[in-house]
Structure 1
Amino acid sequence: MREKPVLLLDLDGVLSPFAAPTCPEGYLERVFFEGEPPHRYCPAHGAWIRELAAAGELWWATGWGEHANERFLPMLGVDPLPVVRFPPVPFEPELKVPAVDLVTGGRPAAWIDDNHTTRGLRWAAARPAPTLLVSIDPAVGWTRSDIDHVLDWAARL
């Protein structure tokens, strides 16, 4: 039996399109952290997350840390996911790479993020295991074609 790939999912800019000038159709807004502006979420994305979880070992790769499970996933009706441990917020985005590398080890990995850094691109190119980086426009958020791209990639492994 083949080993399932590690699938890494960012939140801000991916599930929550913060750079959109207005709340996109199908999304709702909610304040998750006191004193911060509302974040956007789409209730239909719970099904997409479950699809990814069935195709691989799905992990949060977000600065939200455990808050992604505690505050965001309940809005989508999804069970908690394991969390990649990043430095305390705020941190430079390239600091995600060592933590992601630790979680993925030598396994195939797909990473969905709105801010793949030069360090992340070099990491992906140097890995001997199959690696897919999916770049998301934070003004749009992820789309069905992004999900299908990851699912097709995982099925071809």
Structure 2
Amino acid sequence: MLLDLDGVLNPFGATTCPDGYLEREFYPGEGPERYCPAHGAWIKELAAAGDLHWATAWGEDANTLFAPVLGVGPFPVVPFPPLPFPPEDKVPAIARAAGDRPAAWIDDNHTAAGRRWAAGRSAPTLLVPVDSALGWTRADVDRVLAWAGEL
């Protein structure tokens, strides 16, 4: 299970803070990020169903800054290139983290390179697109859990 943060857990594309979310400035001077306290339970469900990794440019900050407000983690972090980097540059790191194991990748920006990687794998692979204006939904979680249950 590969879980992105910005656009997924932090619906930065929403014009206002969505219902059920709170705002907090994790990086002083960069404006508030959004988070939903209910996501902590959802993350725990995914972690119980499989090997969960943060797949986010937040890097270890996902564990030290974000996870504590949700009461989860720490989880392994997929190492990405230094910011800024184009979204398709996530694919090699995701491929290394997944190896030859089944992988569910939850992200708001699946690129053509990511879709080619997923389609070319012999291991079961699920790409879960999330709208950055809506954020992660219970339907997204249920989709991954059902997929994992069928493996």
If the length of structure 1 is used for normalisation, what is the TM-score?
0.95
2:50 corresponds in structure 1 to: 56
Q: Deviations over 1:10-47 (max 9, x none)?
A: 00000000010100011000000011010000111100
What secondary structure does 2:52 align onto?
strand
Q: Deviations over 1:86-139 (max 9, x none)?
A: 001111110100001011111100000000000000000000000000000000
1:43 corresponds in structure 2 to: 37
What secondary structure does 1:33 align onto?
coil
Hey, what's the Cα distance between the residues in 1 that align with 2:95 and 2:5? 19
- 1:90 equivalent to 2:87? Answer no
Read off the aligned partner of 1:63 and give its amino acid letter: A
1:108 corresponds in structure 2 to: 102
Q: Deviations over 1:42-101 (max 9, x none)?
A: 111100000000010000000000001000010011120100000011111101000010
Alignment of 1:63-142 (within 5 A): 63-142=57-136
1:150 corresponds in structure 2 to: 144
2:13 corresponds in structure 1 to: 19
Gaps of 5+ in 2: none
1:4 corresponds in structure 2 to: none
Read off the aligned partner of 1:44 and give its amino acid letter: A
Gaps of 5+ in 1: 1-6
What secondary structure does 2:2 align onto?
strand
CA RMSD of aligned residues (A): 0.5
Hey, what's the Cα distance between the residues in 2 that align with 1:32 and 1:89? 17
Hey, what's the Cα distance between the residues in 2 that align with 1:38 and 1:79? 22
